[in-house]
Amino acid sequence: MSTTAAVKSLPTTIGSFQAKTELSRLLRQVRAGKSFIITQRGKPVAEIKPLDKAPKAGRWGDMQGKIRISDDFCDPVDGMRDYMP
């Protein structure tokens, strides 16, 4: 790995007030691969960086065969009969 590539991957430090006021811009840059260290009074407190892997979107029917609903699912619960019409 070249020195130039290592320097480019270092996170940029930004104060919490500036991060708050420029959050939309920061998020655009994070989507483009940039990382930020957020500081409060000069001390690092958080890091914003791209996700290693985007969360997988679920599909209709993904849980088919993995969930079982008991036969008495709709039966009244003991002690709740007093509250039923």
pLDDT digits (tens, 9 = 90+) for 38-73: 999 999 999 999 988 766 777 888 888 888 888 988
Q: Which of these, 43, 38, 42, lies nearest to 23 by C-alpha position? A: 38
The number of distinct structural domains making up the chain is 1
How confident is residue 8, by pLDDT bands cut at 50, 70 and 90? low
Q: Is 67 part of a structural domain of the chain?
A: no
Mean pLDDT for 1-28 is: 80
Q: Is 2 part of a structural domain of the chain?
A: no
- pLDDT for 69: 86
pTM for this entry: 0.54
Q: Is 74 part of a structural domain of the chain?
A: no
d(Cα 17, Cα 9) in Å, to the nearest integer?
23
Q: Which of these, 76, 12, 75, 66, lies nearest to 44 by C-alpha position? A: 12
pLDDT at 26 over 80: yes
For residue 39, what are the domain limits?
7-51
Contacts of 31 (CB under 8 A, 6+ apart): 50
Q: Is 85 part of a structural domain of the chain?
A: no
Q: Is 64 part of a structural domain of the chain?
A: no
d(Cα 59, Cα 63) in Å, to the nearest integer?
9
Mean pLDDT of the chain: 84
pLDDT at 32 over 60: yes
Q: Is 1 part of a structural domain of the chain?
A: no
Q: Which residue has the higher pLDDT, 55 or 75?
A: 75
Contact in structure between 14 and 37 (CB atoms under 8 Å): yes
Return the CATH number at 36: 3.40.1620.10
